[in-house]
Amino acid sequence: MKANAARIAQDDPCRPRHYRPVPCAPAPAEGPAQEALEISHTRLLVTAALFVLAFAVIAGRLIEVAGFKAGDNHLARFHPAARAYAARADIVDRNGVLLATTLEVSSLSANPKLIAAADKADAAHRLAAILPELSESEIFGRLASDKSFVWLARQLTPRQKFAVIQLGIPGLAFESEGKRVYPKGDLAAHVVGYSGIDNDGLAGIERSFDDVLKSRDEPVRLSLDVRLQYILRSELARQMAEFSSIGAAGLILDVRTGEVMALSSLPDFDPSNPGAKPDAIFDRATLGIYEMGSVMKIFNTAMALDDKVVTFDSKFDATKPIEIAGFTIHDDHAQKRWLTVPEIFMYSSNIGSAKMAAEAGADRQRDFLGRLGLLQAPAFELPELGTPQVPHPWLPISVMTVGFGHGISVSPLQVAAAAAAVVNGGTLYAPTIVMHPGGAAPQGKTVLSAQTSEQMRRLLRLVVEHGTGKNAEAPGYLVGGKTGTAEKIVHGRYAPHALISSFLGVFPINDPRFLVLVMLDEPHGNAKTGGYATGGMVAAPAVKRIVERMAPIVGIQPVDEDSPEIRRSLMVGLPSPQGRKLAAN
């Protein structure tokens, strides 16, 4: 028996190895016990299902609070105004300096249906402390809406976003948007322009290149050089302040390509907040059109020379004013004698210019000005462009007044582009604010002969050396140019004390590279100028400083202006004995 018991215990699979053998528990029998076990299992499954359902309800509520679409219940819907953030391409200058870019920011929206009516006033009060641009009543009005989506504030700062999160108000959400920023501020405001709250271009390059900026990643590269832009703008601001002008405009143009290297109009504005100075939005350089005065004698003289109406030796009687159609044409720097063509240009004689224009005639005048692009709006990348005002009908008195810069209104941009063709050998290049790709040579159009261009360069230098433009002389840089002073029309009449005073300079005039135009709107003379506010007094000095400041940047070295080679190149062709006299000086 003991042996059998030991064998049974040893073979028993239920026996723990380290305990004494014990008998295994018997299997439960069929019947009430088995039924009770199955009921317990069922109750456990039901309890688990209830837990799952509870978690599903909670998850659904979280989705509702987050503002996602969920069937036809009261969950917040995705509003069409809330769109995915899309970058807008950068705008850069010719050297890659950033002028406009887009930053990702957060805007605050709300689903008013998810905010209890009793909580809306308190929510508005707390949000108003974070969003100072909105009043408490404005916020409450939006939260009281019956819509499922309303904007509360666009383009929040990171600090504002964090503060809103800390409030823990249900029903609020953040939308990712792009905010346009302008690192150079107002430096090139009229060129770059600005965009709206939804990143749609509204002015300048932002507007004219809106589709391009929205559809590509690479930047739009302008022809501007921010270094030259800074020089131009600072000198315009200096002259505007010194002579109490209501405005100023200017540009720097590469005469070999038509590329605008700098363009400025004052007053200007901050593109990030253009509404702060609405009167400054107007672009005097491209949209404004003006009677530019004697600067236009560049084209009158070039026309007469190119069409062989006159030569340098031709003379015109400037002994007394011209009386025509009830008007008097007189000279501000009257010589009261017969003048040669170079003298007419050098002394800026209105009488001589009018008689020269009359000899050429209306047909020649219209044709020549039309070839230079001065009778129609220019093809230029900015949307803010002025259309010239020309005589209609083109009467004999119109021919005379247009000859010395009255009776025709054009933009400074057009004057610069046309003058560039006069000095660069006779090729008109369409002005552009966008850099030519890869340094490719632009396609130009011949509008006058190379011989006429050479003659005009000598005359322009003569003005700076011995004429009305002496204040533009920048030693070593061979500046040539032309002054312009014109009375503005106020209430239908010319106003003697409301002037457009300008100077157009080109350097180096023996091998032209750059054109600099400065214009002041209604300057006032001071003790320094003897009370005068002419182009030679108020605009020419600015051109001189601009040339001196920009020349080292663009790689132009000063030369010895008194060297025989330079003197001969600029004086050849001037009439004798005047040519010999000027050469001797």
Task: Point out the residues that are catalytic.
Answer: 294
Pairing of β 445-446 and β 91-92: unpaired
Sequence-ordered list of residues with C-beta below 8 angstroms from that of 6, at least 6 positions apart, any chain = none
What is the rounded distance in angstroms from the CA atom of residue 74 to the CA atom of residue 64?
8
Q: Give the Cα-Cα-Cα angle 508, 514, 515 (nearest 5 degrees).
A: 105
Burial track 432-444 (b if 16+ CB lie within 10 A, e otherwise) = bbbbbeeeeeeeb
What is each CA distance from 297 to 354, 395, 404, 473, in whole angstroms? 10, 19, 5, 20
What is the rounded distance in angstroms from the CA atom of residue 457 to the CA atom of residue 425?
10
Residue 564's SS3 state is: helix
Tell me the backbone φ, ψ of residue 267, rounded to 5 degrees.
-70, 155
What is each CA distance from 556 to 512, 514, 541, 550, in whole angstroms? 11, 10, 20, 9
Q: Determine contact, residues 202/196, Cβ cutoff 8 Å.
A: yes
Burial class of residue 547 in the structure, from the number of CB atoms within 10 Å of its CB (0-12 exposed, 13-18 middle, 19+ buried): buried
Q: Which residues pair with 521 in a beta bridge?
A: 247, 500
What is the rounded distance in angstroms from the CA atom of residue 447 to the CA atom of residue 256?
14
DSSP tag of 137: H
Q: Which residues pair with 482 in a beta bridge?
A: 504
Which single residue is written with the structure tokens 């006032």?
A: 524
Which single residue is written with the structure tokens 């230079």?
A: 372
> SS in 3 state form for 163-218?
HHHHHCCCCEEEEEEEEEECCCHHHHHHHHCEECCCCCEEEHHHHHCHHHHHHCCC
Which single residue is written with the structure tokens 């190149």?
A: 569
Sequence-ordered list of residues with C-beta below 8 angstroms from that of 46, at least 6 positions apart, any chain = none
What is the rounded distance in angstroms from the CA atom of residue 582 to the CA atom of residue 31?
135
Q: Which residues pair with 390 in a beta bridge?
A: none
Sequence-ordered list of residues with C-beta below 8 angstroms from that of 82, at least 6 positions apart, any chain = 109, 149, 175
Tell me the backbone φ, ψ of residue 206, rounded to 5 degrees.
-55, -35
What is the rounded distance in angstroms from the CA atom of residue 293 to the CA atom of residue 409?
9
Verify cis geometry, omega within 30 degrees of 0, for the bond prior to 267.
yes
